[in-house]
Homo-oligomer: A and B are copies of this chain.
Amino acid sequence: MTTVEELKLRVRELENELIKCKQKRCAEEDAGGNQMHHRPRIEKMSAEVVDSNPYSRLMALKRMGIVEDYEKIRTFSVAVVGVGGVGSVTAEMLTRCGIGKLVLFDYDKVELANMNRLFFQPHQAGLSKVEAAEHTLRSINPDVSFETHNYNITTMDNFTHFMDRISHGGLQEGNPVDLVLSCVDNFEARMAINTGCNELGQIWMESGVSENAVSGHIQLIIPGETACFACAPPLVVAANIDEKTLKREGVCAASLPTTMGVVAGLLVQNVLKYLLGFGTVSHYLGYNAMQDFFPTMAMKANPQCDDRYCRKQQDEYKRKEAERPKQEVVVEKVEEQVVHEDNEWGIELVSEVTEEELKAASGPKPDLPEGITVAYTIPDKEKTVTPAGETVEETEQSLEELMAQMKKM
């Protein structure tokens, strides 16, 4: 039997213990360098060169003539779908660059088995990836806004919510995000992102790492203009088997922090180039780690694409192109010169320069045997923000050969 006195005593004990626990938490926060030593928010990015300015090295990009208006980074919102080996590093890089807002999607938990990649730490095992990521990222840069969603975007209800957040999760609530980044590890999720972005006309970038851990790629998808994920599916995911499927059979995909770090770095570099308008944004960039080989290419959208929204965006794009005055100053010049008229996928490989520019730049075309790609660049003599030195691509391969090559990645 418990008396009122005994219960009152127990209440007092518990109250004391709770006070002590809270005090200890504060003390430990101090020692552990938590909440207390977080840097205060910064209202306005400054270029001042002092040790206490976290943006000095980024603002220096202006003085170096690389970026015209670095502060603009704070006006952008980027969605990162998948916060694993590539997505977490992607989110960290954008956070450190001072992006305006990040919208993170993932439904996985952190496991010790993820410790062979950057970002998550053993003490976070068991936490949801988005929750753990937000906590770390906030402490790295409190100037960034975060929105996290701990769900699988491929289920019907979640997909609807995902679409809503892409359309309205901009820095100004109600506006769409500026870019969607796919950092997922399976076909289904890529297809969901593709479907959603085609419907919304949302520009996105795809990334991936092969199951043998030694190759990866990034790809820019502009609905209606460049090939979407449904325009040429086997090209992009070839060897990327869903981790869940693999796990069930007691095996797992290999992964390396190096390959994932490189892919995340190349991805975010292209995000910065795209958002801040410098350099040349790669349409497709591969990374073969065994040989340090980096294939590039550009693919036009497939008029026979299975995705009806893709076909609709293509019509829209053609209409806009037709309406555009012929002699205006264009930022990105896309020549319609078709390399391969017929192929089973209906995909056209497009060179990003005119035939004449290409000839002048490269001299006679090398007669390369099957399976070899030439990727070269005219060095940018001026190092300015102008699109002077473009990545030049050329291929004498058939699409079938290219696909066979990609499947091996």
Residues of A participating in the B interface, judged by any CB pair closer than 8 Å: 2-4, 7-8, 10-11, 14-15, 17-18, 21-22, 24-25, 27-39, 49-58, 60-61, 63-66, 89, 92-93, 96-98, 111-118, 121-125, 127, 135-136, 139-141, 211-214, 247, 250-262, 264-266, 268-270, 272-273, 278-280, 282, 285, 288-294, 296, 361-369, 371-381, 383, 389-391, 405, 408
Residues of B within 8 A of A279 (CB): 214, 289-291
Q: Are B118 and A89 in contact (CB under 8 A)?
A: yes
Q: A25-B24, A408-B383 are in contact. Are A61 and B139 (CB under 8 A)?
A: no
Q: A33-B124, A361-B369, A369-B363 are in contact. Are A60 and B254 (CB under 8 A)?
A: yes
Q: Kindly provide the distance from the CB of A122 to the nearest chain B CB, expressed in whole angstroms.
A: 4
Q: Are B247 and A49 in contact (CB under 8 A)?
A: yes
Residues of B within 8 A of A125 (CB): 37, 39, 52
Residues of B within 8 A of A289 (CB): 269, 273, 279
Q: Are A54 and B116 in contact (CB under 8 A)?
A: yes
A380 and B291 CA atoms in complex are apart in Å by 9
For residue A255, which residue of chain B has the nearest CB?
B57
Q: Name 23 interchain pairs, CB-CB below 8 A, sorted by A.
A: A14-B14, A14-B18, A18-B18, A29-B32, A31-B139, A53-B113, A54-B116, A60-B254, A93-B118, A97-B257, A97-B258, A115-B141, A121-B140, A256-B272, A261-B265, A273-B289, A282-B292, A288-B379, A291-B390, A292-B294, A293-B377, A374-B374, A375-B375
Residues of B within 8 A of A260 (CB): 265
Partner of A122, one of B37, B57, B280: B37
Q: Are A112 and B39 in contact (CB under 8 A)?
A: yes
Q: Kindly provide the distance from the CB of A368 to the nearest chain B CB, expressed in whole angstroms.
A: 6
Q: Are B30 and A29 in contact (CB under 8 A)?
A: no
Q: Are B15 and A60 in contact (CB under 8 A)?
A: no
Residues of B within 8 A of A64 (CB): 211-213, 254
A121 and B408 CA atoms in complex are apart in Å by 39
Q: Kindly provide the distance from the CB of A400 to the nearest chain B CB, expressed in whole angstroms.
A: 14
Q: Are A123 and B38 in contact (CB under 8 A)?
A: yes
For residue A377, which residue of chain B has the nearest CB?
B293
Q: Are A292 and B280 in contact (CB under 8 A)?
A: yes
Q: Kindly provide the distance from the CB of A329 to the nearest chain B CB, expressed in whole angstroms.
A: 20
Which of A116, A124, A278, A365 lies at the interface centre, i.e. has the most chain B CB atoms within 10 A of its CB? Answer: A116
Q: Are A52 and B121 in contact (CB under 8 A)?
A: no
Partner of A292, one of B135, B258, B296: B296
Residues of B within 8 A of A30 (CB): 121, 123-124
Residues of B within 8 A of A139 (CB): 31, 121-123
Residues of B within 8 A of A29 (CB): 28, 32, 123
* New A-B pairs, 18, CB < 8 Å, besides A64-B213, A363-B366: A37-B123, A57-B113, A57-B253, A58-B256, A60-B254, A61-B213, A63-B254, A66-B290, A96-B118, A97-B256, A97-B257, A115-B140, A122-B139, A266-B292, A279-B291, A280-B292, A294-B294, A362-B366
Q: Kindly provide the distance from the CB of A244 to the nearest chain B CB, expressed in whole angstroms.
A: 12
Q: A291-B377, A374-B374 are in contact. Are A93 and B258 (CB under 8 A)?
A: yes
For residue A33, which residue of chain B has the nearest CB?
B123
For residue A214, which residue of chain B has the nearest CB?
B66
A134 and B105 CA atoms in complex are apart in Å by 32
Which of A214, A258, A391 lies at the interface centre, i.e. has the most chain B CB atoms within 10 A of its CB? Answer: A258
Residues of B within 8 A of A4 (CB): 2-4, 7
For residue A34, which residue of chain B has the nearest CB?
B32
Residues of B within 8 A of A31 (CB): 32, 34, 123, 135-136, 139
